[in-house]
Amino acid sequence: MKDLFNLHKFYNVDIFNKSSKKPYNRGRSFGYQILGFGSGVGAAAADYTTATQKALFGFGANGGYSAVTNVVNSSGVVATDTSGVGTGRNYLAATNFGGDKAIFAFGFNDSGQLGMSNLVSNIGVVSADVAAVGVVRYGVAGSAYGADGQAIFAFGYAGTSKINTKNLVTNVGVIGSDTSSAGTGRNNLACTPFGDGQAIFCYGAKTGAVVSNIVSTDGVVASDQSASGTRRWELGGAGYGGDKGVFYGGYDPGTGNSFGMTNLVSNTGGVGSDVSRVGTARSYCALASYGGDKALLAFGYASSLLAHTNISNLISSSGVMAADTTGVGTSRQSPAGVGFSQSA
């Protein structure tokens, strides 16, 4: 097997050991995303995950760093671009909080690693930048958790290190200070809510086997657990079905290609084995919950096309992914996706 420490270099970046001035993939180069940057969305308890009717995809990169957003209605239709508010960046994270609102945080652009956040109202209005709380970083993931609309951002790449730092977010959108958490430091992983107020971080850029970390209803991150599925990063995650989650896509460190498989997460936090893709495989994508119990995959980089995309795919309440829908919104990589609004 090829040495994974030497396979994923781009723009002076070795994702295992070094920092970068430009972790942004252009053309045939490959970068790595937050995942999901993405991003997990909504809270896991029924009052939160299943209540988010709309979704929002924001920020990303394609020939430059963008703050553009795209609203998704309760039927899963992606709207055209809305001019951006806040600093353009990619490799950021987003999460629902308070049941019907959202927050984008962290990221990367030509200025380097970032720590600002942007609140999103329950009608989808993105606020101006708020100064950083906690260590600036990118490749973070986030999710809501608990019964009262709290949220968590955790892990990422800070300075020249992969970290396991977490920042808890209150149900009014205030990001707390840094706290060390359990789990192997890594970046460009994904997170999704599951069960009744829990969340799970999984995958990401690290050496060794695939691991996951469950977040309790009190925001405590558990130690590493072995997880099923192919090792990868630059993927997305979101809740669906009211108490389950899904991870999709990612970057293949062995070939430089985009993965297209999904891994479903049960309501007890078990990560399922790989399921073959439907539609165009891509990495640097984002997922978000919408419609009460469904999810949407959107944007990303397709190695088969050697291009950034605006492709989207609906994911049903039973976790089944639909065929590609294309043509809405600016094609880009490494945005973040999040559910918001309890009104259709």
Length of the chain: 344
- End-to-end Cα distance, the chain: 49
- 191-246 pLDDT, tens digit per residue, is 999 999 999 999 999 999 999 999 999 999 999 999 999 999 999 999 999 999 99
CA distance 157 to 155: 7
User: Residue ranges of the chain with pLDDT lower than 70?
Assistant: 1-50
Q: What are phi and psi of 6, to 5 degrees?
A: -115, 5
> What is the pLDDT at residue 13?
37
Total number of domains constituting the chain: 1
280 in a domain, yes or no?
yes
Provide the CATH number for the domain around residue 112. Answer: 2.120.10.80
271 in a domain, yes or no?
yes
Contact, 176 vs 170, CB < 8 A?
Answer: yes
Please report, for residues 191, 205, 238, 239, the alpha-carbon distance to residue 209 in angstroms, rounded to integers and kept in the order given: 17, 11, 22, 24
Burial class from Cβ neighbours inside 10 Å (0-12, 13-18, 19+) for residue 110 reads exposed
How far is residue 128 CA from its own chain's centroid?
Answer: 21
250 in a domain, yes or no?
yes
CA distance 67 to 71: 13
Sign of the alpha-carbon dihedral angle for 204, 208, 211, 213: negative
Taking residue 14's Cβ as centre, other Cβ atoms within 10 Å add up to 14
CA distance 142 to 68: 20
191 in a domain, yes or no?
yes
DSSP string over 322-333: PPPB---S---B
200 in a domain, yes or no?
yes
* Structural domain range at position 119: 34-340
> What is the pLDDT at residue 181?
93
> What is the pLDDT at residue 323?
96
> What is the pLDDT at residue 18?
37
Q: Which of 294, 241, 239, 233 is nearest to 258 (CA)?
A: 233
223 in a domain, yes or no?
yes
Q: For residue 342, give the DSSP letter.
A: S
pTM over 0.75: yes
24 in a domain, yes or no?
no
7 in a domain, yes or no?
no
> What is the pLDDT at residue 327?
84
